[in-house]
Amino acid sequence: MPDTEPYRTLAGPARAEFTVQGSEFIGHARPVETVEAAEAFIQEIEAEYADATHNVPAYRVRASPFREYSSDDGEPSGSAGKPALNVLQGQSLENAAVVVTRYYGGTNLGVGGLVRAYGQAVKDAVDAAGVVEEVPHERLGITVDYDDSGTVRGLLESTGVEFDADYDERVTFAVRVPVAEASGLRDRIRSATSGRAELEF
């Protein structure tokens, strides 16, 4: 039985920053749909802030099985990644990735100080992003000849799902549809095209 229960995630990307005893902390947060997207986001921040002392990542992703990850990225064990992940867990956020960038300011904050700072950076970034309730979606690819493309496009528009259309030798629609509606949508597309549509899911 596919998972159709709503879940809490970030409304959009955001960042927040503050300074503690000379150390600058920048929290980055972004909604993601896959582990690959979470890891790509982490790499993007690491590349953008390559001169930082630390870039501490954490994410929670609705994969199968469910994936949680965090790293201290060179900070004392348990002082950075776990506090970052704890904020996501504490707010029941899923499909969310965060990275806290730290520029060391010359004063050691101690483990307790680091725990507070990393947790605060994630909390501030999450607050800046906002939290929304989302329902699980799945991806659906639909390939048809031009003769059927208008029919399929009209059906997708009337359903209100998100999609992109690629007009090549044939027309391919990349659709993002709520899991609860996916089966019905596939049936309607097969019916509307008399089975001529090629579906990938």
Contact between residue 29 and residue 132 where contact means Cβ atoms under 8 Å apart: no
2-16, 36-50, 111-125, 135-149: which has the minimum mean pLDDT? 2-16
Q: Return the amino acid letter for 124.
A: D
What pTM value is reported for the model? 0.77
Predicted confidence at residue 2, as pLDDT, reads 53
- pLDDT tens digits, 48-68: 999 999 999 999 999 888 999
**Full set of structural domains in the chain with CATH:** 7-134 (3.30.230.30), 137-200 (3.30.70.240)
Name the region of 73 (left: φ>0; alpha: ψ -120 to 50; beta: rest): left
Go through the chain and tell me how many residues it has.
201
